[in-house]
Amino acid sequence: MTESAEQTVGLPVAAEAVDAARAMGQEAAAHRQADLIPILVRAGELYYQQDAPEIPDAEYDDLMRELVAIESAFPVLVTPDSPTQRVGAAPTGAFGEVVHGRPMLSLGNVFDEDELRAFDQRVRRGLGLPPAPAPAPELRYVAELKIDGLAISLRFERGRFVQGATRGDGTTGEDVTANLKTISVIPGRLREPATAVVRGEVFMPKAEFARINAAREEAGLPTYANPRNSGAGSLRQIDSRVTAERRLSSWTYQLIEDGPDGGPVVASQSEALARLAALGLPVNPDRAEGLDIDAVCRFLEEWREERHGLPYETDGVVVKVDRFDQQARLGVVARAPRWAIAYKFPPEQVETVMEDIVPYVGRTGTLTPVAHMRPTKVAGSTVARATLHNLDEVRRKDLRIGDWVVLQKAGDVIPEVVRSIPDRRTGAERLFEMPATCPVCATAIVRDEGSVRHYCPNPKCPARLSQEFAHFAGRGGMDIEGAGWSVLEQLLERGLVKTRGDFYRLTVDDLESLDRFARKSAENLKTSIERSRRRPLARVLNALGIPQVGEQTAIDLAGWIASRWPSEGTDAGEWTALVARSLPGVTAEELQEVPGIGPVVARAVAGYFADPETASVLADLVDAGVVAEPPARRVASGSGFAAEPLAGKTVVVTGTLAGFERSAAEEAIRAAGGKAAGSVSRNTSYVVAGENAGSKLAKATELGVPVLDEEGFRRLLAGEA
Ligand code: IVH
């Protein structure tokens, strides 16, 4: 079995096998996957660690192929712990191999300032410079944020992107060219006909991670632990349309380019970064150059908290000696350069009291134990709740109600209860048990044999309905101001709202009958309900809670609907009826025309609209007079979305605008076909600066990004700029 196990992980899988897996349906496939993973993990461990295979090679290969087929058919099922997702391992065979011209190195780590200063001393010694604190003006560092993603190497020939590969084992990586081409920030062509190898990191932005996890939750699947795993899994998809759906991004930080004399074109890391940006590659503007070690320490300090506000994850800072001649003198040892080091941010941990563990019924009936904690600030936000996933997890961590617990954010995003602190127990702590009956509808709770999941089997369980309705009335949906949880619960309990359309049939008298409501507050709520009756088509689509569809996909879908049925959009009221009439006939193939929608989302959307239950939901909304407004300023043409003044542009809004709330400004940008971003980089097309604009305005000026005032912004939206 010497070679075969290496080849098996992620074997190329025949299209027929993927089709066969698809035919099983997602639920059956998920069950089969749950069987396969432990068998393969165990077989792999026995083989690798003990050299004692338990099952024959051929069988192992077959089972692994079956798992890959299932995960290719249903990419939402891929979890970080699947044996198909082993990253950093030898190439798997599913992709072609790429031998790196120069090995892709890794970095040594340091975890505090003392260790970092020790690195500086080693560098000085290596270069024959005096030890600190003596000044060493000829030694300068570049500090870059360390991106927690997947390392990639891109080859450009005469300006054209020809090949991209993962790091693999550093010497040989996987050819993921087709998948990298789906990443919008990676240019197909450089601004100069340069021949070069460029290295960097592919990552999944935090917002995208949240979107995918929300979709998984909705599908009743376990959520991904962090953006890194789901980003890596997304890049190594066999079907690149699936990668395209995941909206990955990238920063580049290394340039290998030989000048006519055979030497490098640039002489330092800072010049290399400037040249990468000039070639049109994405370079992270959040960096600092020309630093001594004290300034490096200040950079770390500055980003320790600031990093939580970035739209992507960073787990540290990479510190590099700037000058290439000095880098060459320092050299490489054990696959890590002596001229660079990674400083890792400590994951911020806090202690708090877990006051309760409450089982929640999700939209799919799954019971999830949730820790309720004394609110505590961690990694940039206040946390009071954290999912404990399932009962097994509660037992494994020995968590008891009333315990002091250690809390952190997994991958700096998701609050996680790390462990209990048994030393602080008083004896008053209690064990948590799952309820025998649904806390909402009292149906007996079910736990399938061999599964960690408890669930309420009642499809009409009000817990499911109330979550669907909360989503409908919530911010990203119809945005009915004042319809919070307590109001919603009362409306459902009293039978005043039985369908979504019923919100629009409520009278002021109905509302006045609610607890703590008076005439005035009832009138106010009625006004906000009326105001929400008209919403952009994208918002109405999002409000429906279509599986796999979040805000961005709803926008993409609305744009496509508008271009597909252009003449029907004249009367705004027509759009709800149009969706009800036309969408049920749309196929998954047609939906894949929508930019940003791949096979997985397309199938989910087509399935949703084909469902008779959906037809009655839509008929009810039409009857209730819900008005979907057509997407703004989209004039259909033969080539899809024309007349989008901001197509392909990225706009950052900063400071306060007189005529727009921040969210309205961003919505206007998206409606005009542009992308609203949160931070300024060289890829930003415009910065719109209002009152009290701060660091983003400064960065725009520094990078030479055009800055507009509010008037300029309006002209831009109108297509006049
Ligand atoms: S430099 C010899 N710069 O971190 C140079 N690496 O822990 C090696 N990484 O394998 C890489 N951000 O995947 C460099 N700004 C950055 C980075 C970075 C993330 C990753 C990279 C590397 C790993 C080492």
Q: What is the pLDDT of residues 92-123, one digit of tens each?
A: 456 888 999 999 988 988 988 999 999 999 99
What distance in angstroms lies between residue 137's CA and the mean position of ligand 1's atoms? 26
Distances (CA, A) of 626 to 220, 224, 480, 532: 30, 36, 13, 8
* Nearest ligand 1 atom, CA 148: 19
**CATH no. for 109-344:** 3.30.470.30
Cis peptide before 415 (omega within 30 of 0): no
pLDDT digits (tens, 9 = 90+) for 350-372: 999 999 999 988 766 889 899 99
Ranges in the chain annotated CATH 1.10.287.610: 3-85
Higher pLDDT among residues 702 and 81, named by residue: 702
For residue 288, list its beta bridge partners: 143
pLDDT at 193 over 50: yes
In this prediction, residue 721 carries a pLDDT of 61
pLDDT at 634 over 50: no
- What global pTM score does this model have? 0.54
> Sheet holding 314-321: strands in order across?
109-110, 340-344, 314-321, 141-147, 287-291
Higher pLDDT among residues 73 and 266, named by residue: 266
pLDDT at 297 over 90: yes
In this prediction, residue 457 carries a pLDDT of 87
609 CB less than 6 Å from ligand 1? Answer: no
Residues 326-341, mean pLDDT to the nearest whole number: 91
What distance in angstroms lies between residue 266's CA and the mean position of ligand 1's atoms? 19
In this prediction, residue 2 carries a pLDDT of 27
pLDDT at 224 over 70: no
151 CB less than 6 Å from ligand 1? Answer: yes
146 is catalytic: yes
What distance in angstroms lies between residue 68's CA and the mean position of ligand 1's atoms? 29
pLDDT at 337 over 90: yes
- Cβ neighbours of residue 495 closer than 8 Å, sequence gap 6 or more: none
Residues 337 and 107: beta-carbon distance below 8 Å: yes
256 CB less than 6 Å from ligand 1? Answer: no
Average the pLDDT over each of 387-396, 514-523, 688-697 and give the range with the smallest value: 688-697
What distance in angstroms lies between residue 440's CA and the mean position of ligand 1's atoms? 49
What distance in angstroms lies between residue 108's CA and the mean position of ligand 1's atoms? 10
pLDDT at 220 over 80: no
In this prediction, residue 458 carries a pLDDT of 86
Distances (CA, A) of 527 to 37, 60, 302, 492, 536: 54, 64, 46, 20, 18
pLDDT at 559 over 70: yes
361 CB less than 6 Å from ligand 1? Answer: no
462 CB less than 6 Å from ligand 1? Answer: no
pLDDT digits (tens, 9 = 90+) for 120-166: 999 999 999 999 999 999 999 999 999 988 999 999 999 999 999 99
Taking domain 3-85, whether its CATH number is 2.40.128.110 is answered by no
pLDDT digits (tens, 9 = 90+) for 18-27: 778 888 777 7
Ranges in the chain annotated CATH 1.10.150.20: 462-532, 535-641
| 193 closest CA partner among 157, 163, 154, 155 | 157
- Helix (H) / strand (E) containing 42: helix 26-50
* Average pLDDT of the chain to the nearest whole number: 84
In this prediction, residue 624 carries a pLDDT of 94
Quote the CA–CA distance of 693 and 700 in Å, as a whole number.
11
**Dihedral sign of CA atoms 663, 665, 668, 672 in order:** negative
**CATH no. for 350-434:** 2.40.50.140
Tokens of 654: 């900063």
From 102, 104, 106, give the residue whose CB has the most ligand 1 atoms within 8 Å, as the site to mutate. 106
Quote the CA–CA distance of 3 and 631 in Å, as a whole number.
56
In this prediction, residue 448 carries a pLDDT of 82
340 CB less than 6 Å from ligand 1? Answer: yes
491 CB less than 6 Å from ligand 1? Answer: no
Ranges in the chain annotated CATH 2.40.50.140: 350-434
Quote the CA–CA distance of 76 and 214 in Å, as a whole number.
11
Higher pLDDT among residues 506 and 600, named by residue: 506
Taking domain 535-641, whether its CATH number is 2.60.120.20 is answered by no
Instruction: For residue 632, name the pLDDT band (cuts at 50, 70, 90).
Output: low
| 545 closest CA partner among 625, 458, 455, 609 | 609
In this prediction, residue 574 carries a pLDDT of 67
- Cβ neighbours of residue 51 closer than 8 Å, sequence gap 6 or more: none
Average the pLDDT over each of 463-467, 537-541, 587-591, 618-622 and give the range with the smallest value: 463-467
* Helices vs strands, H then E, count in the chain: 26, 28
Residue 596: CB atoms within 10 Å: 15
pLDDT at 536 over 70: yes
Instruction: For residue 493, name the pLDDT band (cuts at 50, 70, 90).
Output: confident
Provide the percentage of residues in the chain whose pLDDT is more than 70. Answer: 87
What distance in angstroms lies between residue 249's CA and the mean position of ligand 1's atoms? 16
| 490 closest CA partner among 519, 470, 461 | 470
Provide the CATH topology of domain 650-717: Rossmann fold (3.40.50)
Q: Which of the residues 146, 526, 675, 699 is marked catalytic?
A: 146
* Nearest ligand 1 atom, CA 150: 13
Residues 700-708, mean pLDDT to the nearest whole number: 86
150 CB less than 6 Å from ligand 1? Answer: no
The protein residue with its alpha carbon nearest to ligand 1, atom 12, reads 146
From 142, 144, 198, 201, give the residue whose CB has the most ligand 1 atoms within 8 Å, as the site to mutate. 201
Instruction: For residue 13, name the pLDDT band (cuts at 50, 70, 90).
Output: low
What distance in angstroms lies between residue 251's CA and the mean position of ligand 1's atoms? 11
Ranges in the chain annotated CATH 3.30.470.30: 109-344
Instruction: For residue 11, name the pLDDT band (cuts at 50, 70, 90).
Output: very low
In this prediction, residue 195 carries a pLDDT of 95
106 CB less than 6 Å from ligand 1? Answer: yes
Homologous superfamily of the 462-532 domain (CATH): 5' to 3' exonuclease, C-terminal subdomain (1.10.150.20)
342 CB less than 6 Å from ligand 1? Answer: yes
147 CB less than 6 Å from ligand 1? Answer: yes
Residues 219-230, mean pLDDT to the nearest whole number: 66
144 CB less than 6 Å from ligand 1? Answer: yes
In this prediction, residue 36 carries a pLDDT of 81
In this prediction, residue 639 carries a pLDDT of 31
SS (H, E, C) 58-113: HHHHHHHHHHHHHHHHCHHHCCCCCHHHCCCCCCCCCCCEEECCCCCCCCCEECCH
From 87, 141, 145, 147, give the residue whose CB has the most ligand 1 atoms within 8 Å, as the site to mutate. 147
What distance in angstroms lies between residue 318's CA and the mean position of ligand 1's atoms? 7
pLDDT digits (tens, 9 = 90+) for 576-596: 788 888 888 899 999 988 877
The protein residue with its alpha carbon nearest to ligand 1, atom 14, reads 318
